[in-house]
Amino acid sequence: MTIPFSLYAPRESGLHKLHPLTKLALAGFVALCALVLPRAASYLLFLLLIVPLALWGRVFGRLMSAALRVALPFAISLLIIQGLFWQTGPILARVGPISIKLDGILFAVSTIGRILAILSSFVLLSLTTRPDALMLALSQRGLPDVIAYIILTTLQIIPRFQSKAQTIIDAQRSRGLETEGGLLHRIRALLPLVVPLVLSSIVDIEERAIALEARAFSHPGTKTSLFDLSDSLPERIFRWSLLAIALIIVVVRILTLRSA
């Protein structure tokens, strides 16, 4: 089976060998904590959970470059916008008519932590888990097979669509379509690109539907998989404890918010 288009980085590591649901539970745990705990606590989550796990999975470099690539534009916007346009609080520095507010910078820095923790938990899961293994694990726990089919098929056809889009751009350009110039020009160029892309992909939808039907796609019975996943009792216990801790954190957080 070909590995679908994804972030997955194959490595020989203990993290990679864990059951997909264990990694999903870890990622979900970090994301949930980053959402419900105070923003600044996200840095602790990142340093104490994400970084050690990434090192264990030998994907630290990949994780940092992928997470920073997404988080950096947010970080820049946050520092500029919330730093300059925060309405209240003490002024940190003043340059001509512009003043940088302390509270705005603090908000920006703590929010960057939240973004970093949430995005990196997702990236860590994608880096260390094969999408097909994750989907198999989820469908063994009751996720409908069609959902797994959709996600895996999509990941497989994305590269084909990207090259198809490039082919259409090249073809239309060679026929004289202007893809540069004023905004109106570029918007007008959109239609001759979008319509062939959609129409050509629609053609093979029907063929694929027939091929799937011939292979009992919508048959209601149970199906078996060639792929075997290993799960262990300690991992199961670990997942249930993570869930329990997450519940406790959420409940405590709601109670303290109400009393505050």
Partner 1 sequence: MERTSPTARGFRGFNTLTWVMIPVAIAINIAIGQLVYALKIPLYLDSVGTVLVGALAGPWAGALTGLLANLVWGLSGLNVSYAPFAAVAAVIGLLAGLFSESGWFRKIWKVLVAGLITGLVAAAISAPISAYVFGGVTGGGQDALVGIYRGIGLGILPAAFAQGVSSDPLDKMVTYLLVWLIIRALPLRFLMRFANGELVRGDEANEGTSAGSTVTPGS
- Nearest distance in Å: CB 48, partner 1: 21
Instruction: Figure out which of the listed residues 33, 45, 78, 116 binds partner 1, where binding follows CB under 8 A.
Output: 78
What is the C-alpha to C-alpha distance for residues 156 and 242, in angstroms, rounded to an integer?
Answer: 32
Would you count residue 93 as binding partner 1 (CB under 8 A)?
no
Select 77 or 244, whichever has its Cβ closest to partner 1.
77
89 binds partner 1 (CB under 8 A): no
Minimal distance in Å, beta carbon 2 to partner 1?
A: 15
Contact 57, 127 (CB under 8 A): yes
Given 68, 74, 100, 242, the residue binding partner 1 (CB under 8 A): 74
CA 122 to chain centre: 5
* Residue 58: CB minimum distance to partner 1, A: 18
Site residues for partner 1, 194-223, by CB under 8 A, read 194-195, 197-199, 201-202, 205-206, 208-209, 212-213, 217-223
Q: Output the smallest distance, CB 34 to partner 1, in A.
A: 9
Interacting span for partner 1 (CB under 8 A) from 1-9, 15-23, 236-244, 249-257: 1-9
Count of alpha carbons within 13 angstroms of residue 197, beta-carbon side: 18
Q: Containing H/E element for 98?
A: strand 98-101
Interaction between residue 170 and partner 1 (CB under 8 A)? no
Alpha-carbon span 189 to 167, nearest angstrom: 15
Comparing CB distances to partner 1, the nearer of 47 and 213 is 213
Identify the residue among 2, 96, 174, 191 touching partner 1 (CB under 8 A).
191
Which of 51, 92, 155, 250 touches partner 1 (CB under 8 A)? 155
Residues in contact with partner 1, total (CB under 8 A)? 86
Give the footprint of partner 1 on residues 10-69 (CB under 8 A): 35, 66-67
Pairs from 11-17 (Cβ < 8 Å, separation ≥ 24): 11/57, 11/58, 11/59, 11/128, 12/58, 13/56, 13/57, 13/58, 13/128, 14/56, 14/57, 15/53, 15/56, 15/57, 15/128, 16/57, 16/128, 16/129, 17/230
Q: Choose, by CB under 8 A, the member of 18, 21, 50, 136 that binds partner 1.
A: 136
Query: Can you say whether the dihedral through the CA atoms of 223, 224, 227, 230 is positive or negative?
Result: positive
Residue 206 to residues 94, 140, 165, 194, 210: CA-CA distances in angstroms? 64, 29, 20, 20, 6
Stretch that binds partner 1, among 50-58, 112-120, 240-248, 251-259 (CB under 8 A): 112-120
Q: Does position 237 bind partner 1 by CB under 8 A? A: no
CB 63 within 8 A of CB 50: yes
232 binds partner 1 (CB under 8 A): no
